[in-house]
Amino acid sequence: MRVPRGGIPGYSPSLDLKTAPPCCCFLLVSPSDPVAGSADVGLGALDWSNFLAGCGGHDAGGAPGVVPFLKAASRSSFLPLVLPLHPGGNPQLCGPVLEEFLPSVPMAELVVTMAIGPLVSMLKDKASSYLLDQYKVMEGMEEQHKILKRKLPAILDVITDVEEQAMAQREGAKAWLQELRTVAYGANEVFDEFKYEALRREAKKNGHYRKLGFDVIKLFPTHNRVAFRYKMGRKLCLILQAVEVLIAEMHAFRFKYRPQPPVSKEWRHTDYVSIDPQEIASRSRDKDKKNIIGKLIGEASNADLTVVPVVAMGGLGKTTLAQLIYNDPEIQKHFQLLLWVCVSDTFDVNSLAKSIVEASPNKNVETDKPPLDRLQKLVSGQRYLLVLDDVWDNKELRKWERLKVCLHGGMGSAVLTTTRDKRVAEIMGADRAAYNLNALDDHFIKKIIEARAFSLDKQKPAELVEIVDEIVKRCSGSPLAATALGSVLRTKTNVEEWKAISSRSSICTDETGILPILKLSYNDLPAHMKQCFAFCAVFPKDYKINVEKLIQLWIANGFIPECKEGSLETFGKHIFDELASRSFFLDIEESEHVSWSISGATYYPITTCKIHDLMHDIAVSVMEKECFAVTMDPSEIEWLGDTARHLFLSCEGTEGILNDSLEKRSPAIQTLICDSYMQSSLKHFSKYSSLHALKLCLVGTESFLMKSMYLHHLRYLDLSESHIKALPEDISILYNLQTLDLSNCHRLCQLPRQMKYMTSLRHLYTHGCPKLKSMPPELGKLTELLTLTCFVAAVTGPDCSDVAELQHLNIGGQLDLRQIENVIEAEATVANVGNKKDLRELTLRWNSVCDSKVLDNFEPHGGLQVLKIYFYGGEYMGMLQDMVEIHLFHCERLQFLFRSSTIFTFPKLKVLMLEHLLGFEGWWKIDERQEEQTIFPVLEKLFISNCGKLIALPEAPLLQGPCGGDGYTLVRSAFPALKVLKMKELESFQRWDAVEETQGEQILFPCLEELSIEKCPKLTALPEAPFLQEPCGEGGYTLVRSAFPALKVLKMENLESFQRWDGVEGTLFPQLEKLSVQKCPKMTDLPQAPKLSVLEVEDGKQKIFHFIDRYLSSLTKLILNLEYTETTSEAECTSIVPVNIKERWNQESPLTVMKLRCCNSFFVLLKPWDYFVHLEDLEIGRCDVLVYWPEKVFQSLVSLRRLVIRNCPNLIGHAQAPLEPLASERSQHLPGLEVLKLKFRASLVEMFNVPTSLKSICIWDCPKLEYIFRKQQGMSELVQGSSCSEEIMPTAVSELSSSPMNHFFPCLESIYLNECGSLQAVLNLPPSLKTMSIARCSSIQVLSCQLGGLQKPEVTSSRSPIMPEPPATATTSAREHLLPPDLESLVIEDCAGMLGGTLRLPAPLKKLTIIGNSGLTSLEYLSGEHPPSLEHLDLESCSTLAFLPNEPQVYSSLWYLEIRGCPAIKKLPKCLHQQLGGIEDNYRKLDARYEVTALKPKTWKEIPRVVRERRQAAREARKRQQSME
């Protein structure tokens, strides 16, 4: 707290303090404290005796007078920051004052503070580092060094007491801690400089200076020892003075000695019951889940968007409930598209739209378009469920309405939103009441607490169980609060401690929520864990945190205490596990990051986690203004203060934000994570000198953007997925660097040659770098290296390392060893690598198959779990029994997996992948045949492809267990635990068992869930199915045949010989949900599968249609593409189907998607289609019996949203149908149709009555079609062929604008026409149209938008261009076209006579393409609400086009420009010419004369270059002209 400007109220140097106002509050400082001089009124001359007397007390001999003053002050709005010291420095005065004053401060809500102890401990360790003495970097400062090392433990002695007082809202303690934190940060930076100097001297001693050459001077400008001693001596003295003041104040406050709890090195196993929120919710939230699912599915026929808000206080399980609903099988089946986005604090419409799109499978489609447009296209026509989790800032209706407009998808679409704010729920779900989530029942809360608090293997003490009931009440039904409290209680062992926790935990209320309990949980953490968790405030809410990277960031910032028993990484992992067990981290997931290159895919396992938003709030409150996360609005960074230390930026223009912010400020940034692409260089390099951790993703540049000389303290550098080709050699001066991530830098060619001097390096990630050809020399000197993900072995030489360099390194985790053919003594070297005890995954790659016996006797250590081998040239492998995963690729000479004298098993193997093993004949070769044994008892996934000699699966022993018992001794299974089996391109495969004599015995796959068989030409059948017991009604059982009782997904493709599902009729797939049969020419039937929901048949026999009805009650998606047989009449079609087919189809179907090709029977026998009332997506292809539009079929399809009809050669449309003059008289067929696509071959003459709900229409190859929206009254007179005069056209258009047909299709947004040669006019284009594409429609003359009562827009251009006299052939083209006012994209291609004269473009137009036109002379923009802004302009072969818009704003957003073959355009408009430099070369395609004019020399020296370029451009132009001729 500072002295107010103008001095202390009511006080002046001559003022008698006895007369001071009783309510006045003073800033109390030591008279000798320099801060006293900072006020406008000095206090140095203050007479303390007079002061105390003025307070009604005594001088230093007693303090009663101060106490009333302090008590009065504590009741006022001010509190003293620092208590007074005696003028002589005697601290005795404050003892009784402190003891009486501090208890009088009213207790407030429990607060959380940053743990300062670890920061001071870190400083103490740095000050005691052996490096400082070894390299004498503190020479001349030894005395100050000794004093500091003595003083720091004194502070640590009282730190626990101070932190407890600060948590109790005692302002003096908080202020002292804040000052200590500032001093500790500064002191740590000073000792970082000392350490770096020691490392620099060590590197110099080892010869690094000689390697760097003259660069040493600029890299180490202060390397002179005298200069260094002078600079650092001053800094150390300042630190020592600050510490002296802190210790004096520490004594004045009489902080008490409290021993710090030791950092535990013995980590107990987390034996608590892992409470899965899904499991709790499945029991406690089952009713809520069913209610909400009912609401969502019950709106299937609702055309409007359904919004269901779920409201509850934080920590009550809203997100968990939403996850349960999202993952429910019924929801997964009902919705075509599921999207999940966490909104959190800021409801920014554009950013949110972008997040929704990026959560979809189409996240990389049309990335150049605005987010809202992409969102609208994504959901259009699809029934989707969007979960908007944790919505806060959405109290403005306009924001929600703006987003909601773009969320209009298919019928039955829904948005499920979770929020704590009832007002938000009211706005988003305006048409329905919010779903209020109630608290969990107490017995569930009690289960959570007990499971967290008590160990599994110990009895629950009765006296502690009694206290649980009281604690349950304090949780108020919150599972998160129960988990947090249970985790706290787990560390307490007696009744007193449990009661203390119970008394300290406040009851959750609507006002406070569960924050008090979460704060209690945080405050109960050990100090080093507090620091580690608080750092996570740097990440945005709901951010997926890479756990391995998080631990490395903790280490880089010094948060992990040094320990002799294990590595820092192991200690960090224990800290993470402990925090996760206390629910500080949630949603812990293991996955694989995939990187593709020429050599194939590289998989790297990653573990991610998230933080509950309430826990995130705790972390943010602790870090205050030290952590900043900027994700959307760049303006947020403007309040970046000098206290900032950890920054996370994930937004566009990151480099600009940093450059602007650091121009005026100089924060000591320790962590900088840029999670978005960076293209340009950073500035103010010297202001990054305190960085400990840096993540950049550099694109558009091939070099490192930072200066190594300013990064001396850097411990963590992540450049993954950057476009860099190489790192600068001077990066080797980063002697502190511990982590270097270069993964997935696809252009990286080499590493710095002097990396051997980076002796602190612990983790080097080089996987996903296909162009990396070697490793830097003497890599073995990096003795601290723990992670090396990829080692590329080059031909041994002085500039690279051999694999032998790894011999003495303790490499762990994952290692990809490449180019093994270059390794000397490869067998011994590989064996050494395989025996590294911490290695979990090893990949061995040869560049090509060559003679090798490297792996014949390869026996890796037991801890190695995953082995991947590429291009090995041996005939068999070593003993790999302990592997969990084995992947073999392109080992073309391999004949057997292993060769042994006795049989053995793979007891741990779960994944086996065999790919492109051309010589693979059998599974093993055993010298002596012994008793049957299951070789793969736990194998879950088996992938086999391109193994041309493999005939059968391995021998199947008799199955032991319930399926094999009770007399079914002939049931065999080689894979009793197998869940996924995929076989592809096995030319010889024909048997399911390796032993031929067992063919009469049944083979069983008891656990198989997914089976895929592709291109196995000799396979004729599935294995013979054994009898199995299936439960039936009333508790009985029935015998059924099934070799695959658990199978859910079956795919069969290109099986030339496959004829039958089993040798016996009645084979059953009881659990099958998805069946795909493609190109199996001998298959004529389908199996029994009562639960089948998806059926896909490609090139199937016509007879297969007879079996479709057996799935009618369960199918939701049907794709039926049968072989083509010419059918000219319904009688022919009827003759090939059973008589009772109609009776078998007489039931309602849940089908929502149906795609039919060559399925005439559907339109002959199934009339009407009343059973398809739920159908939303229908595609019809190659249907010969369709002659007229199937209006009776259309009449039944009330839910249809998308209709595609293609290549129906006999379909002509309506024949002699009467005209329907008014829209009100139109039939209501397909009332919800939104997308219509038609493609025919010369047959279609007339359209059906298209419904008004249509949003998109596409018509291809219909040369006889004259009208799009069916022939309507008054339209035929509008265009009378090519003889229509210019004078008639405007009249006709104006008459039509008042017609009742106006706005006939109010929802239409896009229209695509291609090769419709008979279309003479496009009429009734609604104002809603946004996209229009017309190609090769040679007869179209007029584009007309019916604007109704709208005023005709004015032209923006002020000029009146002199129009050239059009040629005689083009007189009919000079007509006025009225384009829709909101049109955004217009493409006209090869419609030579359509456009004439001036084409006036609406202001919203962003894309314009005109190709092959001979009548257009100029382009102009119409005025609009917003200025025009083209993004894509393509003009080709427009022979008469001479003028382009000349307004600067038209081209301000242009990123694609193509102008070619337009001779009338002599030069580009000036404003367009100025934009050429901002368009990338790949997106700028201009005739030579336009390109040349863009290259004006800035100086006379550039003239020769420009001349050369112009000449080259002219030559290229001549060549193009000659080629065209």
Q: What is the pLDDT of residue 551?
A: 96
d(C-alpha 78, C-alpha 1), whole Å: 9
Share of the chain above pLDDT 90, in %: 22
In the prediction, which pLDDT does 279 show? 67
Question: Which segment of 403-407, 452-456, 994-998, 1133-1137 scores lowest on mean pLDDT?
Answer: 1133-1137
pLDDT, greater one: 704 or 573: 573
- Segment 1404-1421 mean pLDDT: 88
List, for residues 726-752, the tens digit of each pLDDT value.
998 889 999 999 999 999 999 999 999
Confidence label for 1300 from pLDDT (cuts 50, 70 and 90):
very low
Tokens at residue 683, please? 């500035």
Provide the whole-model pTM: 0.77
What would the pLDDT profile of 440-497 be if each residue is shown by its tens digit? 888 888 888 888 888 766 677 888 888 888 888 888 888 888 888 888 888 787 888 8
> In the prediction, which pLDDT does 671 show?
94
**SS3 category, 167:** helix
A 10 A CB-CB count for 1063 gives 16
10 Å CB burial of residue 628 (0-12, 13-18, 19+) is: buried
pLDDT at 113: 67
More confident residue, 61 or 266: 266
Strand pairing of 1027-1031 and 1037-1041?
Answer: antiparallel
Q: What is the mean pLDDT of residues 624-641?
A: 71
pLDDT at 1492: 52
Instruction: For tokens 């012994």, name the residue.
Output: 930
Q: What is the pLDDT of residue 1145?
A: 64
DSSP SS3 for 790: strand
Q: Decide if pLDDT at 837 tops 80.
A: yes
613-623 vs 515-523: helix crossing angle, rounded to 10: 60
Helix (H) / strand (E) containing 845: strand 839-845
> Which H or E element spans position 377?
helix 371-379
- Top pLDDT among 396 and 1521 is at 396
Q: Identify the weakest region by mean pLDDT among 300-304, 589-593, 1119-1123, 1356-1360.
A: 1356-1360
CA distance to 168, 1062, 1309, 1453, per residue, from 1430 (Å) = 61, 63, 19, 6
- Rg of the chain over Cα atoms, rounded to whole angstroms, equals 39
Give the mean pLDDT of 594-602. 67
For residue 35, pLDDT beyond 50:
no
Q: What is the mean pLDDT of residues 663-692?
A: 86
For the stretch 1011-1048, pLDDT in tens is 999 999 999 888 877 766 655 555 555 556 788 889 99
Closest C-alpha among 305, 376, 335 to residue 1256: 376
| pLDDT at site 585 | 92
Identify the residue with better confidence: 424 or 1259. Answer: 1259
- Best-predicted range by mean pLDDT (77-86, 167-176, 1340-1349, 1492-1501): 167-176
The predicted structure's pLDDT at residue 647: 92
pLDDT at 795: 84
In sequence order, the 6+-apart residues with CB closer than 8 A to the CB of 1345 are 1325, 1326, 1327, 1329, 1378, 1379, 1380, 1381
Contacts of 924 (CB under 8 A, 6+ apart): 896, 897, 898, 899, 900, 903, 935, 954
Confidence class for position 305, pLDDT limits 50, 70, 90:
confident
Q: Is 955 helix (H, G, I), strand (E, B) or coil?
A: coil
Instruction: Say which amino acid occupies 924.
Output: W
pLDDT band at residue 558 using 50, 70 and 90 as cut-offs: very high
In whole angstroms, what separates CA 1425 from the centre of its chain? Answer: 37
Q: Is the pLDDT of residue 439 over 60?
A: yes
The 10s digit of each residue's pLDDT in 804-821 is: 888 889 999 999 999 988
| Beta-strand runs (E) in 498-585 | 545-546
Res 890: pLDDT: 92
Structure confidence by residue, pLDDT tens digits, 107-129: 345 566 677 888 888 888 888 88
pLDDT digits (tens, 9 = 90+) for 68-104: 333 333 333 333 333 333 333 333 333 333 333 333 3
pLDDT score of 1519: 53
Report whether pLDDT(965) > 50: no
Phi then psi for 1464, rounded to 5 degrees?
-75, -20
Q: What confidence tier does 966 reach under pLDDT thresholds 50, 70, 90?
A: very low
Residue 537: predicted pLDDT = 93
Q: Are strands 1456-1460 and 1432-1438 parallel, antiparallel or unpaired?
A: parallel
- The answer on pLDDT for 1423 being more than 80 is no
Alpha-helical segments (H) within 55-212: 66-75, 94-101, 117-127, 130-134, 142-167, 171-205, 208-212
Place of tokens 């996570």: 536
Confidence check: pLDDT of 1118 > 90: yes
Residue 1138 pLDDT class (50, 70, 90 cuts): low
Residue 204 contacts by C-beta under 8 Å, 6 or more apart in sequence?
none
Mean pLDDT of 1280-1307: 42
The mean pLDDT of the chain is 77
Percent of the chain with pLDDT over 70: 75
Six-digit token string for 633:
């609005």
Indicate the pLDDT class of residue 1067, thresholds 50, 70 and 90: low
pLDDT in tens, 894-906: 888 877 766 778 8
Helix, strand or coil, per DSSP, at residue 697: strand
Section 572-589 average pLDDT: 90
Range from 495-509, 740-754, 1339-1353 carrying the lowest mean pLDDT? 1339-1353
pLDDT confidence of residue 1215: 45
Cα 739 from Cα 786, distance rounded (Å): 10
Which of 351-365, 403-417, 1337-1351 shows the lowest mean pLDDT across its residues? 1337-1351
Residue 364: both structure tokens together: 């990389």
